[in-house]
Structure 1
Amino acid sequence: MSIETDQNSRRTFLKKTSGVFAGLAAGSLIPEAFAMHGTKPEYMIPLGVYAAYDKANFLKESGCSYIEESVGGFLIPSGGDEKYQQNLQQLHQDNFPIKSYVILLPAALKTLGPDANHEAILQRTELVLKRAKECKSQYVVFGSGGSRIIPEGFDRATAKAQHIELTKKMAPLAEKYGVTIAVEPLNKGETNFINSLAEGVEIIDAVKSPSIKLLCDIFHMLKEDEPATEIVKYGKHIVHCHIAEKENRTPPGVKGDDFRPYLSALKKIKYKGGLSIECFTYTDFHKEAKKGIEVLKQQLSEV
């Protein structure tokens, strides 16, 4: 290339791009600048893993924004009040946030049916919410499939009314402590009541509380063949999400499930809450949890 041709090329380039750089300086043409180079800002949301809190430092190093614990493991441990105080001290020491807690109720505490025990449930729930606030956590997940199984022969409408009545009594407690209760639809292999986002929203609409919202669990959606479009339909209610692979509830990357349709739906509703890998068995926790976060980050970047 001759010197003259090279100078002409430089002048042409500067003329074409001067407006872009001026816009970048003003902050007004950033999307256009990305478009010129064939790139786009990646869609990312906070990622976490359901695990015991002793995994907190490992998960922080693996790219997680938070950890998700269980009510019985952290807030109401078998070791009683002394153990809870030890857990709280560890939380303060490690300073890695617990965003949410799963398994609010044991299967023995029934929300519906002839053995429903609302008084005991409300006592437990208030303690859980009080301690969740002390831990500066945002959510308590109300899945607890074993506690809400409708007994054979029991009237379904009556069962639903019982569950709604209980949730209405939980709502003022959640509001009092500033912790949101996230209603979790579960697949039919775990319970026979509240098996879809739509059914979860029925409970939320009946309760009418800003502290009773919806959890979207992509694993359960996959098990129920619930399309990603349901996330868009009920997006305004969703405050928290879980995810795992469909076949054996493994972390992303074990079987190779493609979650992008569901992640794309979350992007469409501008979801910014947490997305937790919720699995209960691992072949190698450290390896699979770390890979799961990497796979989720990759798939999120592609939607």
Structure 2
Amino acid sequence: MTKLIDFPSRRNFLKTSTGMVTGIAAGLAVPEILFAKNIGPGYSLQLGVFAAYDKADYLRESGCTYIEESVGNFLIPKDGDAQYAKNLQQLHQEKFPIKSYVILLPGSLKTLGPDANHQAILERTDLVLKRAKECGSQYVVFGSGASRIIPEGFDRDKAKAQHIELTKKMAPLAEKYGVTIAVEPLNRGETNFINSLAEGVEIVDAVKSPKVKLLCDIFHMLKEDESPDEIVKFGKHIVHCHIAEKENRTPPGVKGDDFRPYLSALKKIGYKGGLSIECFVYTDFDKEARRGVEVLKQQLSEV
């Protein structure tokens, strides 16, 4: 099949032309300028993908600066301490950083309601944060929607108080290990508690810890029809970001979602952290993940 040439828009042509003039003045050869990365003043971020660590080499080659793993796969694997030791060894060999971990808690461990089990959660969290530090990671994401569903008939204010009480007890552990807990708002299809950035900030403000901050997940914002303006409003709390397309949680480039309004909001607050593609089902991981990174880089360059 003949591959069509994607001619640049006028806006991108002007940005590229400006970069070429600057490059020529700096003494670069024209071919070097034409194929240089990140020409012009476009916005860029650290990009990563949520995936098993055996995809580290591929993601590095695809333009990622880190990978995002899950607690249950990497830090507390089902095969126990021996498997964690192997995971850690692989991390040291590959030297490709794991920035963050998702799915802190299984659905069986409840943060609120009559079956709340804070002691077990704190024991697990202590081990997770300890191992995250050993791995040189920055964040553990506190989403775990199935753990924080308010049971039918249970008082909402009481549930909120339970969750805040637990997070306040988690905060000193995060401070001890130097790993930030990132509170993640989730859409109402996954849980009925903490469904917006504003609700996430209520938890962060109540805890008042430098190691309990906010995660911005653009997929969940899209599902909740949450405005990009909320990113600007609560930007000072945001330390990490996730992204995926709205309809089926596919990587950027599958359905063609335009994320630029949300990326522009991140640029407006001066956000310089990570942006992870977080999807759970792929038709072709290698192809779609690489394409997702390319699309994000393109859209970031246009905001």
- Please say whether Structure 1 and Structure 2 have the same fold, judged by a TM-score greater than 0.5: yes
Q: CA deviation at 1:41?
A: 1.3
Could you list the per-position Cα deviations for residues 163-185 of structure 1 after superposition, in whole angstroms to 9, with x for gaps in the alignment?
A: 00000000000000000000000
Residue 121 of structure 2: aligned partner? 121
Q: What is the rounded CA distance, in whole Å, between the counterparts of 1:178 and 1:291 in structure 2?
A: 34
Residue 287 of structure 1: aligned partner? 287
Secondary structure of the residue aligned to 1:215 is strand
Residue 105 of structure 1: aligned partner? 105
Matched, 1:160 2:172: no
Q: What is the rounded CA distance, in whole Å, between the counterparts of 1:260 and 1:218 in structure 2?
A: 11
List, as ranges, runs of 4+ consecutive aligned residues in structure 1 with deviation greater than 4 Å: none
Secondary structure of the residue aligned to 1:108 is coil
Q: How does 1:1-303 map to 2 (within 5 A)?
A: 40-303=40-303
Q: Residue 213 of structure 1 aligns to which amino acid in structure 2? A: K
Q: CA deviation at 1:126?
A: 0.2
Q: Residue 252 of structure 2 aligns to which amino acid in structure 1? A: P
Q: Residue 264 of structure 2 aligns to which amino acid in structure 1? A: S
Please identify the structure whose Cα radius of gyration is greater: 1
Secondary structure of the residue aligned to 1:187 is coil
Q: What is the rounded CA distance, in whole Å, between the counterparts of 1:50 and 1:161 in structure 2?
A: 31
Q: What is the rounded CA distance, in whole Å, between the counterparts of 1:180 and 1:204 in structure 2?
A: 12
Q: CA deviation at 1:40?
A: 4.3
Structure 1 regions of 5+ residues with no counterpart?
Answer: 1-20, 26-38
Structure 2 regions of 5+ residues with no counterpart?
Answer: 1-21, 27-38
Secondary structure of the residue aligned to 1:41 is coil
Q: CA deviation at 1:43?
A: 0.8
Q: Residue 128 of structure 2 aligns to which amino acid in structure 1? A: V
Secondary structure of the residue aligned to 1:105 is coil
Secondary structure of the residue aligned to 1:291 is helix
Q: Residue 80 of structure 1 aligns to which amino acid in structure 2? A: G
Q: What is the rounded CA distance, in whole Å, between the counterparts of 2:286 and 2:120 in structure 1?
A: 37
Q: What is the rounded CA distance, in whole Å, between the counterparts of 2:69 and 2:165 in structure 1?
A: 27
Q: What is the rounded CA distance, in whole Å, between the counterparts of 1:242 and 1:79 in structure 2?
A: 28
Q: What is the rounded CA distance, in whole Å, between the counterparts of 2:190 and 2:41 in structure 1?
A: 39
Secondary structure of the residue aligned to 1:42 is coil
Q: Residue 206 of structure 1 aligns to which amino acid in structure 2? A: A
Q: What is the rounded CA distance, in whole Å, between the counterparts of 2:263 and 2:88 in structure 1?
A: 33
Q: What is the rounded CA distance, in whole Å, between the counterparts of 1:202 and 1:92 in structure 2?
A: 38
Q: What is the rounded CA distance, in whole Å, between the counterparts of 1:98 and 1:40 in structure 2?
A: 29
Q: What is the rounded CA distance, in whole Å, between the counterparts of 2:213 and 2:40 in structure 1?
A: 32
Residue 34 of structure 1: aligned partner? none
The total of aligned residue pairs comes to 269
